[in-house]
Structure 1
């Protein structure tokens, strides 16, 4: 596994504040920042704070952060981008009073899936996106617990793709996310880890 330098990526939207230190990167989101396209809400939000670098075929990327959310739609994780209307965000989001693990897959229109993770608050969350063949496989875990499968989504094997840490704060101005790691390694060899 290889660490990615926090200074090697480019922001899709500049955060309010960024501090890089020995223990990782702290990102303060701008109030109203989010990523969404049309479905159900009727709007396009493309103001997410995603620090992106090249994400090659047959590669996996991991982002780790400390989970400390309190406001509706606080979120952090990984953002995988092909273009402005083709992208995937996956991680933990605070929704209706609880932290939930989920993903938004967008190909013109966004979809959204969530699953509550009530025991994860205050712990280290890692989101892993693995690019292989025509798919992106997203897994997550808390601390050193086993990986959970979050999503398998189509991803053009020939597309130029970027990816990296993501945070958004649709409903408040003072969300700061402490990212502790950003890493890459070869893609997972199987969809099912025990295979």
Structure 2
């Protein structure tokens, strides 16, 4: 993977400002609003589009990477990386609390949402990176914990001509007071291959 360049927090734009956001040295501390989420219809029957995402341009042939500390304790607490075209077309990928454990997963939304997860209990309390690489008609999402190996999370379609943005996101569907420490936000060239 090529070297990425840091995106200063102030150069990105909030979709739905959080309860609080402040810098702490190089990090960004974000407190989610109560009952915030991103979801469209499937199984639950509701549409939620009030989660928090700090977004920057995500053009073709580029990659965006977000790092954050996993410190979740309540069902559906979540943070990671969002890719957004519009309210009905987006991807969120990261770590979400479900079934009493941190889960690595993704939601891909094209009119309606889907959801996939895999348990990562040993990621609790550690730094996680989520990276999205856009090439051709697809986005490849990978994640890793600290200096561990990259894991493929999702390969999802994204129209080559779609104007998209990407950046860190967090939500707190079941409570207020979730605070997430984002430790990095960077951009660069798309990964050269699907398989590393």
Which band: TM-score by shorter chain?
over 0.9
C-alpha offsets along residues 61-96 of structure 1, whole Å, 9 cap, x if unaligned? 000001100000000000100111000000000012
The one of 15, 36, 53 equivalent to 1:12 is 15
How far 1:22 moved relative to its partner? 1.8
Instruction: Look up the match of 1:149.
Output: 152
Report SS of the residue matched to 1:30: coil
How many residue pairs were aligned? 193
* Runs (5+) with no aligned partner, structure 1: none
Once the two structures are superposed, the pairs formed by residues 22-171 of structure 1 within 5 Å of their partners are: 22-171=25-174
Report SS of the residue matched to 2:122: helix
TM (norm. structure 1) is 0.98
| Runs of 4+ displaced beyond 3 Å | none
RMSD over equivalenced CA pairs, Å? 0.6
Matched, 1:2 2:5: yes
Report SS of the residue matched to 1:7: helix
C-alpha offsets along residues 146-195 of structure 1, whole Å, 9 cap, x if unaligned? 100000000011110001000000111110000000001110110001xx
TM (norm. structure 2) is 0.97
Once the two structures are superposed, the pairs formed by residues 177-192 of structure 1 within 5 Å of their partners are: 177-192=180-195
Report SS of the residue matched to 2:176: coil
How far 1:10 moved relative to its partner? 1.3
How far 1:23 moved relative to its partner? 2.9
* Runs (5+) with no aligned partner, structure 2: none
Moved more, 139-148 or 1-10: 1-10
